[in-house]
Amino acid sequence: MTRDTLKNAESLDEVKDIALNLFDENIILQEQIKSLQDRLFGRKSEKTPKDGEQMSLFDMPEPELPILNEDDTVTITEHARKKRGRKPLPADLPRVDAVHKLSEDDRKCNCGCLKDKIGEEVSEQLEYIPAKVRVIRNIRYKYACKNCEGVEDDGPTVSIARMPDQIIPKSIATPGLLAHILTAKFADALPFYRQEKQFARIGIELARSTMCNWGMKVADACEILIGMMKDDVLANPMIGIDETPLQVLKGPRKSKSYMWIFRGGPPGKPIILFEYHPTRSGDVVSTFLNGYKGIVQTDGYAGYDFLDTKKDIVHVGCWVHARRKFKEVTKALGNKANSSGNAGSALLYISKLYKIEKEAREQGLSAEQLYNMRQSQAIPILTEFKKWIDERVNKVPPKSLLGKAINYTLGQWPRLIQYTTEGFIRPDNNLVENAIRPFVIGRKNWLFSDTVQGAKASAAIYSLIETAKSNGLEPYWYLKYLFRHLPEAMTNDDFLALLPYNVKKEKISESVPC
């Protein structure tokens, strides 16, 4: 808006309108500056600071506004405080006794006698032994019949012991080494080039290119398992979906590709499936869900909008994403605008919804009981919240942070309330976001994938590791068990038994050959 606009105003009312517009624009610009400052320097957590915690450098005290008539009282129940101090070391760790004795001179008493042992004091320290590597020598005995003439080393009369099948034929890598390398990268976010340096420190020359090739060959060998995992995801009533950017240097789009994640599976057996795609288009989801009938939970990305028109799909939204919009408002401007107080009202409504979920978890309610609880308690809160939003949607500048939060929530409302229709649906997509977090952390270290083949291999290995973790398996021991037994699998049942949600924890903890 220019000075000429104000000069050309023909009436006092027009001047007032211009002034109001300038005021709104000033508020929006201040919010944008504050939001940028908070992203750069503020808390990354979305949790509200507790009493006594330091606030953001750019936060201003929010005025105490009559947000809602909160009838609930807070009762602090009695609780047992945990004993402070060092936790005992695990009892299953091997112990080595280091006995400390006094010399004869030190044992002499003032009376001239030698002091006798009357007891002992025991304290424990934790020792670390650097990783050891060893070479497995496969010695295959040859057998021949001495009564046959013309015996040759490799002739028809000679028999030789069979080598166990290997996941990578003719490779020097054992299942244990492969499991260590892949767990280090995909579970601990340690890139191959750093592992190369670690191996060099213990005298092993192992190139990062070799480790990369091993990873792709392992992914190829596990392709049948990934297919089975996808079938099991599609065979169950609910799927959560999310995506995150990934740079592939030699991919079709050098600037940005995407790693998609699909979470589903039978009750109590979560499956986390990663898939690489060069695009963020909704066609990826459409192709994956081809023929699927059930519940799909997503965030508010427009690429998922087509799910609303699928008659066999119930599209559920995510309350965490709606809450996040209002949380951004509370971080901006503080007491310089009423927006922070209004956002606080919205956050209070949402916190009431989550309080119901927390109480249900603490009481161990079944899906049917939770459904009934939501109908009696959550629905009235949602009805009141919707009324609160409708009263403000036309009064708040749509480009302000509060306006964006209100319009986002209003646009997502049909999806947001769907979680109340079934007791087993969560109000948010947090489980999917948590599952994709290890990939995001790893990406900060290795930055990109070199080829499409490498990105697809990463997706397969992440799928196995994250599914194993979600089912209570330690990834190293699961991968070692898998790589040991996968080459021997022949039938469909053999492969099903190796899926991470079908392997018992006790089975992989047993000692297995390297």
Reduced 3-state DSSP string for 67-105: CCCCCCCCCCCCCCCCCCCCCCCCCCCCCCCCCCCCCHH
- Give the pLDDT of residue 41: 58
- pLDDT confidence band for 203 (50 / 70 / 90): confident
User: What would the mean pLDDT of 134-140 be, rounded to a whole number?
Assistant: 88
pLDDT above 90: residue 251: no
Residue identified by tokens 């006794």 is 97
pLDDT more than 70, % of the chain: 78
CA nearest 162: which of 510, 488, 514? 488
pLDDT above 80: residue 503: yes
Over residues 299-353, the pLDDT tens digits come to 989 999 999 999 899 999 999 999 998 888 887 755 444 434 688 889 999 999 9
Considering the entire predicted model, what is its pTM? Answer: 0.78
pLDDT above 80: residue 91: yes
- pLDDT confidence band for 16 (50 / 70 / 90): low
pLDDT above 60: residue 120: yes
pLDDT above 80: residue 56: no
With contact defined as beta carbons under 8 Å apart, do 265 and 233 qualify? yes
Tokens describing residue 59:
């936060």
Query: Of 26-35, 66-75, 315-324, 374-383, which gets the smallest average pLDDT?
Result: 66-75
- Give the pLDDT of residue 60: 40
Question: For the chain, how long is the longest CA-to-CA vector?
Answer: 121
- Give the pLDDT of residue 7: 55
- pLDDT confidence band for 214 (50 / 70 / 90): very high
User: What would the mean pLDDT of 64-80 be, rounded to a whole number?
Assistant: 49
User: What would the mean pLDDT of 470-484 be, rounded to a whole number?
Assistant: 95
Eight-state DSSP code of residue 289? T
pLDDT above 70: residue 285: yes
With contact defined as beta carbons under 8 Å apart, do 379 and 8 qualify? no
